Amino acid sequence: MQIQNIDTISDFVDEIGLFEEKNIYIVNGNKGIDKESLNNLRSSESNFIFHQLKEILRRNVVSDESNSFNKIFNLIICKIYDEDTKDGSNSPLEFQWKTTDSLENLEDRLLKLYKEGLKEYLNIEGKYAGRNDFAFIEVLDEASYQKNLGILREVVMLMESYKFKYNHKQQYLGDFFEDLLDTGYRQSRGQFFTPVPLTSFICNSLPIEKIIERKNEDSKIDFLPYAIDYASGSGHFITEIISVINK
């Protein structure tokens, strides 16, 4: 069961399914989102989040989609790190809009998650990471700063109730990332990524099972094969290798 804080009901009734058993929303309540209450991404949610992100940008007259989707990737680092470091129902997630929040408090929490995530996952000391890493628009004065914080809150509220960290291949999360990359990079920079059927064929053609058997025979502690994608865009080679190894 999920309990989520929202400001108004009308924004969520049609899209998310207010009266489904696992989606219970309390307007202006005090219950927060914890790790156990997150919803797994399905195809419908993946498409919904992506198109709602684009709608948020259109409604707020954000013209630079490439920049905006870069900022969303920064938020995904925050989201994954938050899920990765929380335990069950006793630790409410920081990646959420709380009824006691101010916009500035939300931004401060995200900035802390972002710096810690950079250090944990990319070994980057994020001492120069700052508010521009969440700037969907150019911030020049107090008015534009507050407008950007409003956009930031909308994006967080859209993503907060869904699970982004999995210990298995999650096809719909991969689809979501590819949609972001398609808008943020391919359209503006002419990049083309290897199609999934081709990456799947290549990875399934590799002698993964024989490598594992040989490393086991040699009593190797790290018996799984190493895999390096030298030109990782959407990460299809990595996810397909994981799928083969799991199989």
pLDDT tens column, 95-106 = 999 988 999 999
| 150 vs 22: which has the higher pLDDT | 150
| pLDDT(50) > 60 | yes
Supply the mean pLDDT for the chain: 81
Query: What's the chain's length in residues?
Result: 247
**How many C-beta atoms lie closer than 10 Å to residue 241's C-beta?**
23
Q: Which one has a higher pLDDT value, 236 or 53?
A: 53
Distance CA 176, CA 47 (A): 7
245: Cβ contacts below 8 Å, ≥ 6 apart: 208, 212, 224, 225
The DSSP letter of residue 6 is E
Radius of gyration over every alpha carbon of the chain, rounded to an integer in angstroms: 20
**pLDDT above 70 for 23:** no
Q: Is the pLDDT of residue 37 over 80?
A: yes
pLDDT given at position 11: 45
Average pLDDT over residues 168-196: 67
| Position with higher pLDDT, 244 vs 178 | 244
The alpha carbon of 47 is separated from its chain's Cα centroid by a whole number of angstroms, namely: 13
Return the pLDDT at 235: 76
Question: Percentage of the chain surpassing pLDDT 90?
Answer: 39
Residues near 190 by beta carbon (within 8 Å), at least 6 away in sequence = none
Question: What would the mean pLDDT of 53-76 be, rounded to a whole number?
Answer: 88
